[in-house]
């Protein structure tokens, strides 16, 4: 099986799709995000769980602006038609007009659907022992 930087081609493609997702979220590109977010998705933040529709509305309105996401590490695990993308991310976001920077462990669940990958779930866990804490 072909590899890129120790990952299979499929794992590398998923890592790149995850990275691209952060760029689209920063750009508030709801149209492009709609294409990669699963319609039945769940987005688990610190203290709130949102549907895909709610997450897209928050991004579009600027309620949460994902300004920058520095991905420090990523691991991809593919099992059949499901993939986990596990990342350590230092996220700078504007929430309620206040800029905050926090390190997170981010767990993304992707499912293969209609010959593409769709983000079914994303959960943020704040890292308390990270230098950016």
Residue 33 and residue 2: Cα distance in Å, rounded?
29
Residue 70 and residue 4: Cα distance in Å, rounded?
21
pLDDT at position 5 is: 61
The strand ranges marked E within 25-81 are: 37-45, 48-51, 64-79
Q: What is the pLDDT along the chain (133 residues), one digit of tens a residue?
A: 454 567 888 999 999 999 999 999 999 999 999 999 999 999 998 778 999 999 999 999 998 899 999 999 999 999 999 999 999 999 999 988 899 999 999 999 999 998 899 999 999 999 988 887 7
Query: What are the backbone angles phi and psi of residue 39, rounded to the nearest 5°?
Result: -60, -25
Print burial letters for 88-97: b (CB count within 10 Å at least 16), e (below 16): bbbbbbeeee
* Strand 116-126 to 3-4 pairing: unpaired
pTM greater than 0.75 (yes/no): yes
Where are the chain's structural domains? 3-126
The answer to whether the Cα torsion of 72, 29, 55, 64 is positive or negative is: positive
Do residues 17 and 26 make contact, with C-beta atoms less than 8 angstroms apart?
no
Query: What are the backbone angles phi and psi of residue 63, rounded to the nearest 5°?
Result: -55, -40
Residue 103 and residue 131: Cα distance in Å, rounded?
8
pLDDT at position 109 is: 98
Do residues 67 and 100 make contact, with C-beta atoms less than 8 angstroms apart?
no
pLDDT at position 129 is: 86
CATH topology of domain 3-126: Nuclear Transport Factor 2; Chain: A, (3.10.450)
């Amino acid at each position: 099986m072909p590899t890129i930087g120790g990952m299979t081609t499929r794992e590398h493609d998923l890592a790149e799709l995850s990275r691209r997702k952060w760029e689209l979220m920063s750009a508030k590109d709801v149209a492009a995000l709609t294409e990669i977010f699963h319609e039945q998705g769940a987005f688990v933040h610190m203290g709130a769980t949102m549907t895909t529709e709610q997450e897209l509305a928050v991004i579009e309105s600027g309620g949460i602006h994902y300004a920058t996401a520095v991905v420090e590490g990523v691991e991809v695990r593919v099992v059949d038609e499901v993939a986990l993308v596990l990342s350590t991310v230092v996220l700078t976001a504007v929430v309620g007009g206040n800029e905050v920077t926090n390190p997170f462990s981010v767990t993304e669940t992707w499912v293969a659907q209609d010959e593409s990958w769709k983000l079914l779930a994303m959960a943020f866990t704040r890292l308390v022992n990270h230098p950016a804490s």
